[in-house]
Structure 1
């Protein structure tokens, strides 16, 4: 077969004639690209080498047989041939070798390789051309070879199409096969993983990965360092004691979903308990309110005191109900925001004075907004309590109001010069039950946001460790 390949190439080269000779003579370094194109058009298995014996090209027919293409090689054919393809080579004659090549699919193929010089039309030697033929093979014709290649390609194409990673290892734990999904999931280069120690390859992903743990437990889940991704590694049955197969899956979303379900169940349980508790509190406050009204009828002189106590009883019920996220319908008339803030700030400023904190107000004229008085009081109280605890004595809190005509919303801005919030904590401050305070409940901000959302508003927090915190409260206008 090598004789016919050489003759075919010479016929093609002869047609190129003068153009080919000019190309070679005009270049100080050998230019093989046009030869590569020629051998890629041949149906036989062909390797090109330079005069130092280094492999400079492998034609696509042979690469396809071994399960690769030119993109997989990346241009370094000699390195790939000697480190990945070549399993064994024996010299039979001066230019004849008996070689065994590794396939990507986990088996080896034996060839007789014949080396000859590839000559130009004027007899000059261009490079070494090696032709390969099967030894003791049932594939006698190229039709047989192509049918065999199609069979392999179609089988392994399915394996490469799935989004599940597959690693196949021999008894020495060397990786004999790794599909595309596994390379992508583990950010591996096939050339760096093939025929390498599986344990070392996995350890390179993350030191926590323990190969023996995977094998003994049949499955393990690892959080890859600096990636935020979780991979499950599961041992699969290959029905062959000579091989070990590990299935790799990205279970990040699955775990997150499981956490959400677990939290949801926890919150549902808490909600049920809270409903029962609030029902009893409401009954008790209603009873107290009833007795206060009876006492008010008997004690006309202190009627104003009883009015205040009864009013505060009603507000206690509203506040308790707000912790369940139960918000009354928005009043049709709307509220004067600045007037409400001025009225409620009397209580907040009293606590601020006690804590030696200065509050600076800058209330601009704004339109009427849509929210319940008591609900907004609760939101302001929650935000100010957080600021009080963050800045300590001697700090400052600024509260401003303004109208944003572009978004058609009123904004209450509450800023402090406290210690600020780090990035990771800032991501969690709205999560129910999350708190960094010793006596905190982790409910204040989440409830405040829930209240505002039900009125079409919103709450956003901007902060950086060491530079203070800004809380923006967004309110819808009265329609």
Structure 2
């Protein structure tokens, strides 16, 4: 309908201009009525100017509307023109769009305030740095929550360089993982030692680069886990020592009773004495071996990191473990031995870890009708995994938390230190060991390396 209204007005004005033009032409050609000619000329000029302003008014309103959307100006109002103008539905649409735009803006602001309030309440420190430098060549801090201020013992700085000056150690650790990643660091804040688990996430938002830094004090959690680990370790060590000391103590009492008040022993007593002494010697040797194993865990060499390809590592393992697996009638598949992906590691130590895992898998699948072990690797984001998968008896869920405790073993004649040493080696490589097991179906041990 508004098109018809505009069309009617436009046509009527054009018809009027054409009639005035024709009249003016007729008067100039056939008459000398100069006052009439001047009057018609002025009316014609006024009609043309009126048509121009009529069309230009719409163009101007559209320009104002676009500018209001660009500048997020929600004060612009087209209500009067929506009822009286040539395009009521158009101006009504302009008003609706501005209202929707205003509503979206308010919703975004409300969501921002909600997220900001949540981040202020969580016990995790959060700092967001705008990496676009200001005119003074400084990086502005876009967000600094109260938890971050409390954990670091600093006010909510506006600029990153101020925080760098106050806490250079913290800033340097963050710079080490500026491209993304996690890091553990210890800081002394106001004579109090805190242990921070720190994560950095780079983010590009609307053409601007931001760095999100989140961290939390995990000192209490670490101390609790250490206490639990020590308790489990003490329990295992006490059990092993008591198992050796009890028969030694008992046999010592027996020998003491045999020789007390006697100057000579008969043949049978001499045999019993020899047997008892041999048993004491054997258990003493077992106790010495136990202590040596404990020292082995604590005295691992520092890794000598060198560049090696995954293919090279897997080839070495295949050569080392294939004969042992074959003797046990176990199928050992080592895949992707041609991979050229390179990482920094100590080849000897990592080989030792893989030997431990594959050996455990071989013993695990011994009773299986179709024993099979698969060694492979995979890349996921910035992590590289070397997987050792078998179809053996697996690990019960209750044992998953215990298998890395020193001297804890579910295997007969096992020492219980292989997995402990393996995990320590991976920690020295800034990695870890993960395990997923479904009893009597499949078990996968994964060596996890950081790959950037």
- Relative to the length of structure 1, the TM-score reads 0.33
Larger proportion of helix: 2
Q: Which has the larger radius of gyration?
A: 2
